[in-house]
Amino acid sequence: MKSNNNNNSTTQQLDHLTRSAHGKFMILLAFTALFVFLPLVSESYGSGIENKYHGFYVVSSYKNFDDAEALMERLRAQGYDPFGKTVNIPDKGKYRRVYVKRYGNKKEALSEGKKLREKGMFKGFFILFVKTGPEDNKAVPKRNSDKEDNKNIPPPPVLTKTEIPVAPAVPPLAKKEIPVAPTVPPLAKKEIPVAPAVPPLTKVKIVPPNTEKMMPSHKAQIDKPDPGLKMGKKSYISAMSDFTAGRYKDALGKFKKIIKTEKNEAVMRRIADCYYFLGDKGDKRYLLEGIDQYRNIIRNYPGSKKENAKAVFRLAQGLCRLKFYSNALMEFKNLCSRYPESVYFSESLYMMGKMNYKTGNLNGAITDFKKYIKRFPDGKHVRKAYFSVGDCYSQMHKFNDADVWYGNALKRWPALEDIPKDSFLNLGSYYFQTGKNREALRAFFVYLNLFPDGKDCKNALYTIARSFERMGQLPLALKALSQVVERYPGSSEALKSAFIMANIGVKDPEIKLPVYIFPGFEYYRNPIEAYDKIREKLSDLDRQEELVFREELVFQKGCALLKKKRYREAFDNCRFFLDKFSYGTHETAGEENLILSAGGLIDDYYSKKDYLAVSDVYFNFDGNILFKNGNFDMLLKIGTSLNKIGLPDNAAGLFEEMIKVFAEDKRINELLLDMAKIDYDRSRYEDARKRLKGLLGKRSDLDKKTAMTAKKLLGDICYKERLFKDAVGFYMEVTGAKEGVEDSAAIRKKYADSLRGMGLYSSARINYKRVLKNCGDPAQKCSASVIMGSYEGLGDCLYSEGKYQQAITMYEKSLEGVSEGKQNMWAIFNIGRGYANLGNKPMADKSFSSLKKETSNEFWSRVMDYYTSYKNRTTGLEI
């Protein structure tokens, strides 16, 4: 129950945020309008320039006055001339506003504000139309001092737009955001941490602040040259002037000249700082040099704790920027252990969490983030830390814990602008991963509205489409996917969207959609062709993603072909898939698809009695897959087909494997019987007899039909071995059965043959006549071989009884209707023998001549020669 409550709490908090968004932002109400862009600024008031301060300003507001001072220092270092004003906002208290620069119109001001925000100068800004200048040029009061008198401060100028919230990214996921030390001028596209006030943890000891304090400004350093310098004080001031203005290359050259003449700690540190800031602009060589410089400084000047803490921090930051995360983690740990009172302590503790996250140590990241949250509950990165803990738990699939942390974060920061930007993505991804598709939709819709130009919009829109697909809302999923294809052509998301559209086309091809508002409609309507088109574009992806995508593509195409009942193509596709991706994600499903496509082919071929084609499918099969996934009927058809085309050994091998696999199947009796038939056909009578006796003696579930067929086959075996008495016993039992007997005429004929073999000619003749009588009934279907064989059997009985004329008549009837070349040679030979025994030499000669004419086989020539020689010798009759 606790888990459920946690899950509900996060969902309820997101519901609250979504409802809140309706009041502050335009939330998507109609899906077809996926992006609703916020108005950035309202119409301005006034256009005239009354004095040098009159105009539009980019303004950033701070509750913590130290943060405002830090921003002004950074702006001055970049060449701006900002000024500040303190305002008293009802119900919120005093805020310090920093006015960056005057602009002629709001469009220009807005553009510049965005650029400064992207550089990391501030996190949020708004545009103000100002008519008055700064209230004074005094230093900014610290930490909202209660001693400051704000009663006479004029009301704030006209506000043209509420502050645009720009939430920072969740630290572990951000690839570029790296906090830097406060004395550094702002760096392009890097976030520079500032220092809000931190309450002490106890009444006795003041803990390190929750973020860095701003170091003395560069201007102050210019006014007060380093006292250790003897010869280069003027050069130092000049170098520092370049340094504080951000001209690091010029400053570096001047510092190097100074260091050539005299060794000085401050100069060495500034040289390291120059390398650091130059490297921060993108050149890794400078960063590497700066790292070496900081290490030398820390080693050579161990007594300067305050300065060394900054050096260790920048050393760690440099390693972080170079993506040496493990090394950076060691340095951040080093700072926290050696300099616990440093202004860099809180930032380093937070960065330890980030570095652990980067190196995949999620447990370590959770530990460090929790330490940061506990020690600095109002710290600068506490929001990020909360959401990062949730993200770590989510990646570890500890979803209950993730839900608790996400829920607590949403409770603590109910305002949308207070939630970090990437947290919407992480939260949405968490919901999507845990199957909470509706919650995922809410999170990503909010993200799209708050950050319509965000770099992850295409991923958010793609995940929205996936969520709709999971929910079975296929029309909405298709519309969202088409938006991805249209808006982000050539992207990985667009390619995957086209792929999913094709998959939906296979799954549900009858969705009613208007073509004119559906880009990529062809992917849905013609999925098999779409898979081929998509395959041609896979080279646009990176190698790893291409391999994964190619596997999915081949697999889904096989599914589509199978659903279309294009079994031949599906079979070939599945064989290729299993050969190419034998250990892939869909190995098991691919094997099942191969079986299904093969089953479709075999059923078709077997129904047409194309046993060769059935066997061909079998020989193109992996036997392991066949017996692992194949069904009984399909395997039985394969074995039967192999036997039919004259490959009894292959059929027997297949049946032997089937007996192992399907030992408990009720149809195993049929299989054992087929195995006995194959043994019989291969003249392995003893093996066949053992199988049949085992079948008859041990199978309690044996049906009547199988039992009678087994006994009939035992009779055949006995007859072949000339065990006529045993054969008669089996045949008699079968012919006496009232059910389970097929082709009773053929069995009775064999029964008569066995009686004749025993010399019971009278009984044999009775049964031959019964066969012929039954075959005379139109309802009784008898084969020609049974009828002709019965006449011949009658002839043999009569001949053996010395009734030659009657025997000749039966032999002649056995030859009636038989075409030349297919006549029974023994019947013709016996006719000749009958006439010879009757002393009718002309008719005997005619029969023997006919026999010679019918066949050129040397065997029959020798038989006749032997017989005539024997007859002439024993009777004296010349034949």
Distance between CA atoms of 606 and 832, rounded to whole angstroms? Answer: 46
Q: Between the ranges 345-354, 431-440, 860-869, where is the mean pLDDT highest?
A: 345-354
Give every CB contact of residue 320 below 8 A, 6+ residues apart in sequence: 178, 328, 351, 354, 355
Distance between CA atoms of 107 and 129, rounded to whole angstroms? Answer: 12
Residue 152: band (very low, low, confident or very high) from pLDDT cuts 50, 70, 90? very low
Give every CB contact of residue 751 below 8 A, 6+ residues apart in sequence: 715, 728, 731, 732, 735, 767
Residue 876: band (very low, low, confident or very high) from pLDDT cuts 50, 70, 90? low
Q: Is the pLDDT of residue 385 over 70?
A: yes
Burial 259-273 (b: 16+ CB within 10 A, else e): eeeeebebbbbbbbb
Identify which of 493, 423, 490, 431 has the alpha carbon closest to the alpha carbon of residue 457.
493
Q: Is the pLDDT of residue 546 over 70?
A: yes
Predicted local distance difference test score (pLDDT) of residue 191:
40
- Average pLDDT rounded to a whole number, residues 207-233: 47
Distance between CA atoms of 65 and 63, rounded to whole angstroms? Answer: 6
Predicted local distance difference test score (pLDDT) of residue 235:
85
**Neighbouring C-beta atoms of residue 404, cutoff 10 Å:** 21
Residue 91: band (very low, low, confident or very high) from pLDDT cuts 50, 70, 90? low
CB 421 within 8 A of CB 451: yes
Q: Which residue has the tokens 């545009």?
A: 127
Out of 168-177, 604-613, 829-838, pick the least confident.
Answer: 168-177
Query: Which neighbouring-strand residues pair with 848?
Result: none
Predicted local distance difference test score (pLDDT) of residue 227:
55
Query: For the segment 773-805, what is each residue's pLDDT rounded down to a tens digit?
Result: 888 877 777 888 898 999 999 999 999 999 999
CB 673 within 8 A of CB 658: no
- Average pLDDT rounded to a whole number, residues 414-437: 79
Out of 89-103, 115-129, 150-164, 817-831, pick the least confident.
Answer: 150-164
Predicted local distance difference test score (pLDDT) of residue 819:
65
Query: For the segment 449-507, what is each residue's pLDDT rounded down to a tens digit?
Result: 888 888 889 899 999 999 999 999 998 999 999 999 999 988 888 989 999 999 999 99
CB 298 within 8 A of CB 315: yes
Q: Is the pLDDT of residue 199 over 60?
A: no
Query: For the segment 816-843, what is each residue's pLDDT rounded down to a tens digit?
Result: 867 665 667 888 888 888 888 888 888 8
Query: Which neighbouring-strand residues pair with 98?
Result: 60, 84
Q: Is the pLDDT of residue 224 over 60?
A: no
Residue 604: band (very low, low, confident or very high) from pLDDT cuts 50, 70, 90? very high
Measure Cα distances from 543 to 397, 492, 547 in Å.
27, 12, 6
Predicted local distance difference test score (pLDDT) of residue 134:
61
Q: Is the pLDDT of residue 213 over 80?
A: no
Q: Is the pLDDT of residue 735 over 50?
A: yes
- Average pLDDT rounded to a whole number, residues 66-91: 81
Residue 815: band (very low, low, confident or very high) from pLDDT cuts 50, 70, 90? confident
Predicted local distance difference test score (pLDDT) of residue 361:
94
Query: Which neighbouring-strand residues pair with 102?
Result: 57
Segments making up each domain of the chain, as ranges: 55-159, 564-660
Predicted local distance difference test score (pLDDT) of residue 184:
34
Q: Is the pLDDT of residue 509 over 90?
A: no
Predicted local distance difference test score (pLDDT) of residue 294:
92
Predicted local distance difference test score (pLDDT) of residue 229:
60
The amino acid occupying position 189 is K
The CA-CA-CA angle for residues 628, 634, 639, to 5°, reads 95
- Residue 325 tokens read as 């995360």
Q: Is the pLDDT of residue 335 over 90?
A: yes
The angle that helices 761-775 and 744-757 make with each other, rounded to 10 degrees, is 160
Q: Is the pLDDT of residue 76 over 60?
A: yes
CB 781 within 8 A of CB 747: no
- Average pLDDT rounded to a whole number, residues 257-263: 86
Measure Cα distances from 217 to 72, 122, 148, 189 in Å.
10, 18, 23, 22
- Residue 491 tokens read as 């992207």
Question: Maximum Cα–Cα distance for the chain, whole Å?
Answer: 160
Query: For the segment 683-726, what is each residue's pLDDT rounded down to a tens digit?
Result: 999 989 998 988 888 766 788 888 888 999 999 999 999 999 99
Q: Is the pLDDT of residue 571 over 70?
A: yes
Residue 196: band (very low, low, confident or very high) from pLDDT cuts 50, 70, 90? very low
Q: Between the ranges 176-185, 255-264, 267-276, 870-879, where is the mean pLDDT highest?
A: 267-276
Residue 812: band (very low, low, confident or very high) from pLDDT cuts 50, 70, 90? confident
Give every CB contact of residue 784 below 8 A, 6+ residues apart in sequence: 817, 818
**Neighbouring C-beta atoms of residue 319, cutoff 10 Å:** 23
pLDDT averaged over every residue in the chain: 79
Predicted local distance difference test score (pLDDT) of residue 269:
92
**Neighbouring C-beta atoms of residue 278, cutoff 10 Å:** 19
Predicted local distance difference test score (pLDDT) of residue 821:
59
Q: Is the pLDDT of residue 179 over 70?
A: no
Q: Is the pLDDT of residue 879 over 60?
A: no
Query: For the segment 6-28, what is each residue's pLDDT rounded down to a tens digit?
Result: 555 555 555 555 554 444 434 34
Identify which of 391, 442, 449 has the alpha carbon closest to the alpha carbon of residue 14.
442
Measure Cα distances from 446 to 12, 329, 435, 449, 494 in Å.
15, 34, 19, 5, 22
Predicted local distance difference test score (pLDDT) of residue 750:
92
Identify which of 790, 806, 795 has the alpha carbon closest to the alpha carbon of residue 838.
806
Predicted local distance difference test score (pLDDT) of residue 195:
37
- Average pLDDT rounded to a whole number, residues 375-380: 89
Predicted local distance difference test score (pLDDT) of residue 877:
56
Any idea which architecture 55-159 has in CATH? 2-Layer Sandwich (3.30)
- Average pLDDT rounded to a whole number, residues 212-227: 43
Higher pLDDT, 531 or 821: 531
